């Protein structure tokens, strides 16, 4: 285990306890010596962690400490690299791809050398594949979701029949070949899924829809039997 991972484990262990925890108990659970524990606590305090206590009394982490990027574990770094690479290559949204690359660059810039090397040398690759191109701007749909705005769309179903719908978008699904916007359809008075490659045109209205998107997402998940993680 690297020192960075050990510090992360110590922070997570302290987070689980509201009352002070004795140093020997912390050292035993982490599998380190008490001297190493004292050094690690001093390191975290120097980085801004509000750890209060002293040898013989116990230690407690006060609320409000946000882990700096260097506290990511190797597995978490690989997850971030893989996710950003997938978004850049497969999301079919240039602005989202650029944002993913920029975010990863900001994180990488403040990582210690041992973790920065794992970013540069990550062997988790995103494969290619055909994505059916959308006819509308995916970033505009994301904006409508963030601002809880209604969308008017001209939509063709699988049989080619065209209809005009006013929807309340609250989520986007990214599948292997298609992208799907999920929303409440005023025409059907129910939740519906709309493939982006079948939306011929789209207009975002100034009008906000009357329900909270988080509430609709929760209701839709329950109806579809999709667990919340």
CATH number of residue 160's parent domain:
2.30.30
Question: Is 178 part of a structural domain of the chain?
Answer: yes
Q: Lowest-confidence range among 78-87, 106-115, 175-184? A: 106-115
| Helix, strand, or coil (residue 195) | strand
State the average pLDDT over residues 145-174.
96
Looking at the structure, tell me whether residues 89 and 60 fall in a common domain.
no
The pLDDT assigned to 221 comes to: 92
**54 in any annotated domain:** yes
Closest of 98, 99, 101, 90 to residue 179, by C-alpha: 90
Domain carrying residue 110: 71-120
Q: What is the pLDDT of residue 145?
A: 96
Give Cβ neighbours of residue 60 (< 8 Å, ≥ 6 apart).
Answer: 14, 17, 18, 19, 20, 21, 51, 52, 53
What is the spatial distance between Cα 27 and Cα 75, in angstroms, rounded to a whole number? 23
* Residue 133 placed within a domain: no
Comparing CA positions, the residue from 51, 48, 43 lying closest to residue 20 is 51
Query: What pTM did the predictor assign?
Result: 0.66
């Amino acid at each position: 285990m690297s020192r960075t991972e050990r510090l992360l484990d110590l922070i997570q262990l302290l987070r689980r306890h509201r009352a002070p925890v004795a140093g020997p108990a912390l050292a035993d659970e982490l599998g380190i010596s008490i001297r190493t524990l004292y050094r690690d606590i001093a390191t975290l305090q120097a980085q801004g962690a509000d750890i209060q206590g002293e040898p013989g009394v116990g230690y407690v982490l006060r609320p409000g400490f946000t882990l700096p990027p260097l506290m990511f574990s190797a597995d978490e770094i690989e997850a971030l690299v893989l996710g950003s690479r997938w978004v850049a290559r497969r999301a079919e949204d240039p602005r989202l791809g650029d944002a993913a690359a920029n975010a990863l660059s900001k994180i990488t810039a403040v990582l210690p050398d041992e973790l920065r090397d794992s970013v540069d040398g990550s062997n988790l690759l995103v494969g290619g594949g055909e994505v059916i191109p959308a006819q509308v701007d995916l970033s505009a749909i994301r904006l409508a979701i963030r601002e809880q705005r209604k969308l008017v769309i001209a939509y063709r179903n699988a049989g080619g029949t065209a209809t005009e719908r006013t929807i309340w978008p609250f989520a986007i699904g990214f599948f292997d070949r298609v992208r799907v916007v999920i929303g409440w359809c005023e025409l059907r008075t129910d939740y519906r899924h709309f493939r982006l490659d079948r939306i011929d045109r789209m207009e975002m209205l100034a009008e906000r829809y009357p329900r909270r998107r988080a509430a609709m997402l929760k209701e839709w998940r329950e109806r579809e039997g999709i667990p919340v993680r």
